[in-house]
């Protein structure tokens, strides 16, 4: 099982000091956080993609390429890549380029964006959101698998005899996750292709996550990719820890109370009760995270949101120390316990390459 972090890349004033980091500081902080993730033994760093303030990460492969050059093991991913408004040709090329530079330590998560105006800003129609995700991904899928593509669709200019370059590393496309919070259509899409499905459950009650994941698992089996238990599932998480849980609550509350997403709304206690947010000791984080398996089944990737709401870099790095030293080693052991033999790990470049060679040998 993979453990990692995902960043929204928000530039938010620290409510305890009133200080807002500059864009440069925030971008460099995201890099420092990614490097720390590798240092403390995490497996994945994923960045969001946004095209509106107060978010900085508009250009994920630029950032991930830089991180790739400064890391050895970390898998670089996105949370998410906008399949609706980016040109699928450019996604195919950007991520293939990143694959080569990062020696295959790359996957990506498809998403539809966080704000309506991103569609018109990129010349698209929000009412076509699902259709754009369907058509663009169908083209992306082909561009990574067919050397020469002739293609015609509804939303993009046709292609005649087009070859996306560079070709994917070793002829193996990056593994794709499809992220969706609300749309069963996207779970269906992930299942159709046998791709991964990531449910960013961090703001949602468990029963909603359960329904989305169950749908994806059932349809994954329907399309003949394996049993429902073999489907590739990822979940979000959101934690703030101190050794003493009262210290965690005291320190995090001012950030929670005015956080851009849920601030000025429910109390910290109500929100932690109803969603995966955990504010407390490492042991409480371990217990809450293990409980995700009760409703999502044995899964492959757990990403935590750690750097948001104006938390200073120093605090985030301390959080990552706790996550890497006290939480993830226990989670690895506990999730491995009683894990049925047929449940696969999250695909990586090397596992996909090995599978391809096996298939080649059979053929």
- Report the residue number, 70 or 182, with the smaller CB distance to other proteins: 182
Strand partners, 6: 46
The DSSP secondary structure of 290-305, one letter per residue, reads: HHHHHHH-S-SEEEEE
- Give dist(CA 336, CA 341) in Å, integer: 10
The phi and psi torsions of 210 (rounded to 5 degrees) equal -60, -45
The set of residues, in sequence order, having a beta carbon less than 8 Å from that of 240 and lying 6+ positions away, is 248, 251, 252, 255, 278, 279, 319
Regarding 177 and contact with other proteins (CB under 8 A), the answer is no
Count of residues engaged in binding other proteins, rule: CB under 8 A? 31
Contact 59, 20 (CB under 8 A): no
Regarding 185 and contact with other proteins (CB under 8 A), the answer is yes
* Residues recorded for the chain: 363
**Could you tell me the smallest distance in angstroms from the CB atom of residue 145 to other proteins?**
16
Q: Which of residues 20-49 bind other proteins (CB under 8 A)?
A: none
Contact 80, 109 (CB under 8 A): yes
- Report the residue number, 124 or 189, with the smaller CB distance to other proteins: 189
Regarding 154 and contact with other proteins (CB under 8 A), the answer is yes
Return the residue of 274, 336, 342, 357 that touches other proteins, per CB under 8 A: 274
- Report the residue number, 270 or 345, with the smaller CB distance to other proteins: 270
Strand partners, 240: 279
Regarding 325 and contact with other proteins (CB under 8 A), the answer is no
- Give dist(CA 353, CA 349) in Å, integer: 6
Return the residue of 188, 195, 276, 310 that touches other proteins, per CB under 8 A: 188
**Could you tell me the smallest distance in angstroms from the CB atom of residue 106 to other proteins?**
25
Regarding 135 and contact with other proteins (CB under 8 A), the answer is yes
Q: Could you give the string, one character per residue 208-237, with x where binding to other proteins holds by CB under 8 A and - elsewhere?
A: x--xx--x---x---x--------------
**Integer angstrom CA distances of residue 332 from 277, 323, 342:** 20, 12, 17
**Could you tell me the smallest distance in angstroms from the CB atom of residue 252 to other proteins?**
17
Regarding 130 and contact with other proteins (CB under 8 A), the answer is yes
- Report the residue number, 38 or 188, with the smaller CB distance to other proteins: 188
Within 13 Å of residue 43, how many CA atoms lie on the same side as its CB? 15
| β-strand pairing of 2-7 with 301-305 | parallel
Q: Is 18 left (phi over 0), alpha (psi -120 to 50) or beta?
A: left
Return the residue of 153, 226, 254, 297 that touches other proteins, per CB under 8 A: 153
Return the residue of 116, 120, 166, 265 that touches other proteins, per CB under 8 A: 265
Regarding 244 and contact with other proteins (CB under 8 A), the answer is no
**Could you tell me the smallest distance in angstroms from the CB atom of residue 218 to other proteins?**
9
Closest CA to 238 of 303, 331, 329, 320: 303
- Report the residue number, 130 or 249, with the smaller CB distance to other proteins: 130
| β-strand pairing of 196-199 with 175-179 | parallel
- Give dist(CA 216, CA 88) in Å, integer: 24
- Report the residue number, 137 or 335, with the smaller CB distance to other proteins: 137
- Report the residue number, 215 or 221, with the smaller CB distance to other proteins: 215
SS3 assignment for 27-62: HHHHHHHHHHHHHCCCCEEEECCCCCCCECCCCHHH
The set of residues, in sequence order, having a beta carbon less than 8 Å from that of 257 and lying 6+ positions away, is 15, 263, 264, 268
Return the residue of 205, 329, 342, 344 that touches other proteins, per CB under 8 A: 205
**Could you tell me the smallest distance in angstroms from the CB atom of residue 295 to other proteins?**
14
- According to DSSP, residue 106 is labeled B
Return the residue of 24, 127, 264, 362 that touches other proteins, per CB under 8 A: 264
- Report the residue number, 105 or 219, with the smaller CB distance to other proteins: 219
Which listed range, 36-44, 86-94, 189-197, 293-301, lies at the site for other proteins (CB under 8 A)?
A: 189-197
Q: What does the binding site for other proteins look like in residue numbers (CB under 8 A)? A: 130-131, 134-135, 138, 152-154, 184-185, 188-189, 191-192, 203-205, 208, 211-212, 215, 219, 223, 262-266, 270-271, 274
């Amino acid at each position: 099982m993979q453990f990692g972090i995902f960043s929204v890349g928000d530039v938010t004033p620290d409510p305890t000091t009133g200080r807002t980091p500059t864009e440069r500081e925030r971008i460099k902080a995201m890099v420092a956080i990614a490097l720390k993730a590798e240092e403390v033994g995490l497996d994945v760093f994923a960045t969001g993609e946004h095209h509106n303030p107060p978010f900085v990460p508009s250009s994920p492969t630029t950032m991930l390429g830089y991180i790739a050059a400064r890391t050895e093991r970390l898998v670089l991913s996105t949370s998410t890549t906008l399949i609706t408004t980016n040109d699928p040709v450019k996604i195919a090329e950007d991520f293939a380029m990143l694959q080569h530079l990062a020696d295959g330590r790359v996957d990506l998560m498809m998403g539809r964006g966080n704000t309506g105006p991103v569609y018109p800003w990129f010349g698209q129609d929000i009412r076509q959101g699902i259709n754009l995700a369907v058509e663009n991904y169908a083209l992306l899928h082909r561009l990574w698998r067919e050397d020469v593509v002739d293609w015609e669709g509804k939303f993009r200019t046709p292609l005649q005899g087009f070859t996306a370059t560079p070709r994917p590393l070793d002829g193996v496309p990056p593994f794709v996750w499809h992220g969706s919070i609300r749309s069963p259509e996207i779970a269906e899409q992930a299942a159709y292709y046998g791709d991964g499905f990531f449910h960013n459950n961090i703001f949602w009650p468990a029963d909603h996550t359960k329904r989305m994941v169950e749908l994806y698992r059932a349809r994954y089996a329907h399309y003949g990719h394996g049993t429902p238990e073999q489907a590739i599932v990822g979940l979000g998480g959101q934690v703030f820890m101190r050794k003493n849980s009262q210290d965690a609550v005291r320190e995090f509350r001012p950030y929670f109370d005015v956080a851009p997403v849920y601030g000025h709304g429910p109390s910290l206690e109500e929100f932690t009760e109803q969603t995966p947010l955990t504010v407390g000791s490492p042991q409480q984080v371990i217990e809450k995270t293990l409980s995700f398996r009760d409703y999502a089944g044995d899964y492959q990737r757990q990403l935590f949101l750690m750097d948001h709401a104006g938390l200073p870099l120093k605090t985030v790095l301390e959080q990552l120390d706790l996550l890497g030293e006290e939480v993830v080693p226990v989670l690895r052991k506990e999730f491995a316990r009683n894990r049925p033999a047929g449940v696969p790990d999250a695909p990586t470049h090397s596992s996909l390459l090995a599978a391809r060679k096996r298939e080649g040998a059979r053929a």
